[in-house]
Amino acid sequence: MRISRIKPESFITWLIKFTGYSAIIFVFLIFYFLLSEGIPVFGEVPFKDFFQVRWYPIEAYFGLLPLLVGSLIVTIGALIIAVPLGLLTAIYIAEVASPRTKEILKPLVELLGGFPSVVLGFLGLLILSQYLREILALPTGLSALTGSLILAGIALPAIVSISEDALDTVPRSYRDASLALGATEWQTIWWVTLPAAKSGVLTAIMLGIGRAIGETMVVLMVTGNAPMMPQGLATFVNPTRTMTATIAAEMGEVANGSTHYHVLFFIGIVLFVIALIVNVSASTFVFRRKKRSERILS
């Protein structure tokens, strides 16, 4: 009665295993192609030149600092808006809102997550920048601030939905224990529920950072695209230029294999590494959705 393994079964198992490992293959492929197109830059541009404060590729100024700073400023601005807004909204949805309100709010926020960023960039360009220019009496509405405001909208859905999930998985018994000790629901939220969901909230914020720093079209369209070093507080309302926007704006116009082309790939490597750090640290907060494991056991 010994029947050896049936052939088609083992073929399919092999195929499934292969697709399973495809994610690893792609990460390496991406890294390899960024390296192969970006590494030649080290033979063409002295390394210290990247630390110049001037980005002007036509005259071979390849200072990356203004671009790095631009990305940083726009991202920080977006977080200052999106983190409190997103977190408080998540708390409202998870802890205060009635089930019906919840059913309206959650899909709405998720809808925003599905918005093509080019549409938001378009509105920022046509509407928001005009308003900001008039209200703040600026020479141009295309600034870091405009970028931050719209990037906040792009980071918001991730922050809200992951924080909300994290709050949702705090066991009911924690809250009951706090309420039984005489705390109000308001106190329970801040003293019990939110601290218990801390790791999930941190994950949410890290992923929000990832979204904001990696976003391309919005910053390309609304930040004015001037690579400049920071100049005090005015930095936020001045035009700026991010790493992502630089790649998007200039890659179409460079000759394949030129120094400028290699530099743009080098910026891609920098972005890849930043994304890697942000995402690995987000995942080390090891926020596992409990709901999922509960479902397995049911």
Scan residues 223-252 and list those touching another protein (CB under 8 A): 244, 247-248, 251-252
Compute the distance between CA of residue 111 and CA of residue 101 in angstroms, rounded to an integer.
Answer: 15
Q: Any contact of residue 135 with another protein (CB under 8 A)?
A: no
Compute the distance between CA of residue 197 and CA of residue 284 in angstroms, rounded to an integer.
Answer: 15
Q: Any contact of residue 7 with another protein (CB under 8 A)?
A: no
Which residues in 166-205 contact another protein (CB under 8 A)?
Answer: 184-187
Quick one: 236 or 265, whose CB is closer to another protein? 265
Q: Which of 53, 118, 177, 234 contacts another protein by CB under 8 A?
A: 118
Q: Any contact of residue 285 with another protein (CB under 8 A)?
A: no
For residue 84, the minimal CB distance to another protein (Å) is 8
Reading the block at residue 5, the tokens are 């393994």
For residue 48, the minimal CB distance to another protein (Å) is 24
Q: Which of 2, 7, 48, 100 contacts another protein by CB under 8 A?
A: 2
Q: What number of other Cβ atoms are within 10 A of residue 163's Cβ? A: 28
For residue 231, the minimal CB distance to another protein (Å) is 26
Q: What angle do CA 224, 226, 227 make, to 5 degrees?
A: 140
258 φψ region: left (φ > 0), alpha (ψ -120 to 50), beta (else): beta
x/- map, 10-29, another protein, by CB under 8 A: --xx-xxxxxxxxxx-xx-x
CA-CA-CA-CA dihedral for 156, 157, 161, 167, to nearest 10: 10
Q: Which of 67, 205, 207, 237 contacts another protein by CB under 8 A?
A: 207
Compute the distance between CA of residue 192 and CA of residue 94 in angstroms, rounded to an integer.
Answer: 14
Which residues in 72-111 contact another protein (CB under 8 A)?
Answer: 84-86, 88-89, 91-93, 96-97, 105, 107-109, 111
What's phi and psi for 224, nearest 5 deg? 85, -15
Which among 217, 256, 275, 284 is positioned nearest to 30, based on CA atoms? 275
For residue 100, the minimal CB distance to another protein (Å) is 14
Q: Are 208 and 158 in contact (CB under 8 A)?
A: yes
Helices (H) and strands (E) counted in the chain, each on its own, are 15, 2
Quick one: 55 or 265, whose CB is closer to another protein? 265
For residue 72, the minimal CB distance to another protein (Å) is 14
For residue 107, the minimal CB distance to another protein (Å) is 7
